[in-house]
Amino acid sequence: MHFFGMMGISWETTRSFFLPLTPLTLGLGTFLVLWHLKSSTKNLILFFILAILGWSVEVVGVSTGKIFGTYAYQQALGPKILEVPPTIGLNWAILVVLFASFFPTNWKTLP
């Protein structure tokens, strides 16, 4: 989904169609990730902790410009809290969960 959104937003002719769909796409991505995680209480809590942490880092980044440089969010991702849309936290959580899925789940075997 991220790939198609990126491609759609990249082309001027399709940007006006894809840009308003961004919050819907992130919501659908969140649903699919949570469904894949079997939505246990532990997984839900972890997912939303990741979302809050990701959003918090973005708040610090936007307000100070020290983490990712100077930047600001426009209206495409929906309403903002402290100048950062909550959907960006969901995006960070999705990316972390997908990245973690490439690694073994039994972390106890690590030295």
d(C-alpha 14, C-alpha 51), whole Å: 29
Could you read off the pLDDT of 40-93 as tens digits, one per residue? 788 888 889 999 999 999 999 999 998 888 999 988 888 999 999 999 999 899
Rg (CA), the chain: 16
| pTM of the entire predicted model | 0.74
Is position 5 within any domain? no
Instruction: Write out pLDDT tens, residues 3-45.
Output: 767 777 777 888 788 777 878 888 888 888 888 777 678 888 8
- Residue 108 lies inside a defined structural domain of this protein: no
Quick one: how far is CA 11 from the chain centroid? 22
Domain assignment of residue 66, given as a range: 23-103
Question: Would you say residue 67 lies in a domain?
Answer: yes
Distances 97 to 2, 30, 78, 90 between C-alpha atoms, Å: 14, 10, 23, 11
Q: Domain tally for the chain?
A: 1
